[in-house]
């Protein structure tokens, strides 16, 4: 390649490089082999003539349980809570690991209302942000409350306390109960 040709090739490349810049960022640019950008598959929320309801995203088959989720076969009433107290037992034992995990769960999900000591004086309560009276977890009454009732309370809520079951795995709920028993109610 002679010098002249070389210079013109460089010049052309420079012009391409300069014009390919998008100064105001209002143009998405050209597609170069756009095969992957425009998928042939249906988008999750796009219409779909293949299914009778016209939707791409189909509901799971009736009765489907998501992975690792165990159905909790109790209603929300007090009678159902009592029944849970009679029928359910904590499947975990007091071990350092379980207590440590229980503490983490308690600190993450309960401490804001029920407090470091479990006395119902969490920072949401003492700061006045949370307006409802929060119950203590360390009274004699609570010490006598069966594990299954506490599990029911965490899972489905109790009175004004909201359900926490959907945010805490069952095993973590049980471990938080171990922690309440062993560290707070001692
Ligand atoms: C947003 C505040 C809040 C959070 C967070 C919270 N609770 Fe509660 N909890 C309450 C309130 C308020 C009550 C009393 C409800 C009532 O009396 O209507 C209560 C009641 C309870 C009771 C029933 C006490 C009894 O007398 O039977 C238990 C057990 C309990 N909570 C445990 C927990 C545990 C364990 C966690 C964490 C997984 C938790 N709570 C998270 C506010 C909260």
What pLDDT score does 44 carry?
A: 93
* Cβ(175) – ligand 1 distance below 6 Å: no
Name every residue whose Cβ is closer than 8 Å to that of residue 155 and which is 6 or more positions away in sequence.
72, 74, 163, 164, 165, 170, 173
CA-CA distance, 163 to 171, in Å (whole number)? 16
CA-CA distance, 117 to 132, in Å (whole number)? 18
The tally of CA atoms less than 13 A away on the side-chain side of residue 87 is 10
What pLDDT score does 1 carry?
A: 65
- Tens-digit pLDDT profile for residues 101-152: 999 999 999 999 999 999 999 999 999 999 999 999 999 999 999 999 999 9
* Residue at token pair 């095993």: 171
- With the most atoms of ligand 1 within 8 angstroms of its CB, the residue from 158, 175, 180 to mutate is 158
- With the most atoms of ligand 1 within 8 angstroms of its CB, the residue from 115, 135, 143 to mutate is 135
Spans of the chain, pLDDT less than 50:
none
- The answer to whether the CB of 56 falls within 8 A of the CB of 42 is yes
What pLDDT score does 96 carry?
A: 97
| Closest Cα to atom 37 of ligand 1 | 110
């Amino acid at each position: 390649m002679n010098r002249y040709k070389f210079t013109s090739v460089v010049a052309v490349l420079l012009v391409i490089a300069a014009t390919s810049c998008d100064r105001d960022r209002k143009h998405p640019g050209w597609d170069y082999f756009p095969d992957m950008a425009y998928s042939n598959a249906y988008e999750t929320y796009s219409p779909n003539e293949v299914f009778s309801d016209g939707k791409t995203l189909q509901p799971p088959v009736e009765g489907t349980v998501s992975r690792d989720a165990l159905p909790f076969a109790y209603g929300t009433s007090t009678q159902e809570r009592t029944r849970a107290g009679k029928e359910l037992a904590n499947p975990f034992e007091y071990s350092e690991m379980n207590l440590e995990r229980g503490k983490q769960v308690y600190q993450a999900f309960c401490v804001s209302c029920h407090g470091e000591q479990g006395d119902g004086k969490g920072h949401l309560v003492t700061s006045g942000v949370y307006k409802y009276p929060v119950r203590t977890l360390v009274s004699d009454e609570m010490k006598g409350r069966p594990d299954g009732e506490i599990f029911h309370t965490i899972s489905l809520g109790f009175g004004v306390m909201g359900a926490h079951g959907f945010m805490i795995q069952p095993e973590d709920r049980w471990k938080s109960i171990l922690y309440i028993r062993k560290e707070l109610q001692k």
